[in-house]
Chain A
């Protein structure tokens, strides 16, 4: 028996064994049915992670996926009290151990789960949205911006290597259907969205702040992008009104 195992009691040994640590078997030699616990623990993790990462599991495939999950159960130390949040910890654990595009795919899937269950936004203002440069837009918070190295949300996996780059995706929960939707952003719109969401600047200041960041000034093309984006955010109810 190792020196570590000399200091653990039977319940600790059963927990470790259930997580996949076979070195504690000697501590458990007079206990029956210990495999039942290991099977229950392992099955819960495998089932739930397969549901949360259906695409990623298919992308990572077979034994690699199985061993990632087993490794996580044994060494990942998940702390989430809410079981549905555990896959977020698996994502952190697994990201460094898989291909970058696979990590992007996992991030894409997990963000959808998080947004799907995210608490509802409580409106601060009462006025409906209307455009004026001095107005401050109110956005709900059921969205996130994801940064990808590979555009896993639009390109077939086998072609991703040719598309390595810097991609931004606005992922949000539709306020009527509760489904998750995506809008691809360029880097300008990504900054614009972040500035809008601070809800510190009025619409004119938001645009100015964003232009300053890129060391540029307004042009007809930029103005068109800006107007279209504000319109889209309104149409999608991401802008919910005015503060």
Chain B
């Protein structure tokens, strides 16, 4: 079975996607928080999109690593949205984005500790029960290490095992974290529990003046990251790889050309 390549749905490209006939992305990934419970112009376009494309979901505000109580009413609303649009694949960031229930609207890193594994796993189980779906947790980019009893790799494998959830492996994030924290992305991929990896991501990054790589999603994917995909793709059973772009979205043709580059690396 091959790996198909999808694109993140952003408002800037929604109309253009509706007009595409050939060379469509195989699927679109939506952030539920940007599309749920809306009507009017965007609600109407989203409905058309859902009729033309297969959808996957990548959440923004679950805050699975937070100490706050899970927001059960929100999870029920989320489930309604996923059910309404027949979205079976739901992923989120293995991070936290709230403190005292206040949102930061950004993914902050969790501690790689046994306590974190237990805490997050308990919450993931609860979320899976409510959503009636597996939660797929993404290896996020982090720029600082909070507390580290476990390696990042062992941490992800432990959460996936303990929570009985799945992993979203972002190739770019492995590469960026590897560079920033001096580890080998190939070794990381060879040791991640691939039986748990059910979804893949890739995007562009940029380098700051001080050498720190940022997960910017604003420019073409670096060749080294495509090489990482090309050389490790056989490790995975996942059948979907998502191309993420959050900025420089003016030209859909450029994004489609990026998808071609990814597809070439998957050949």
Contact = CB atoms under 8 A, between A and B. Distances in A.
Contact of B108 (A11, A78, A83, A115): A11
Contacts of A115: 40
Contact of B101 (A31, A79, A82, A83): A79
A10 B33 contact: no
A119 B109 contact: no
A88 B88 CA distance: 31
B144 A34 contact: yes
Interface string A1-39: 000000001111011101100000000000111101100
A37 B106 CA distance: 8
B103 to A, nearest CB: 5
B39 A31 contact: no
B203 to A, nearest CB: 15
Contacts of B44: 120, 178
Give the size range of B's interface with the partner.
35 or more
Contacts of B38: 117-119
Contacts, number: 108
The majority secondary structure among interface residues of chain B is: loop
A40 interface: yes
A18 to B, nearest CB: 6
A220 to B, nearest CB: 39
B143 A33 contact: yes
A31 B34 CA distance: 32
B256 to A, nearest CB: 27
B40 A120 contact: yes
B155 to A, nearest CB: 14
A16 B102 CA distance: 11
Interface of B: 33-34, 36-44, 60-61, 65, 67, 71, 74, 96, 99-106, 108-111, 143-147, 212, 214
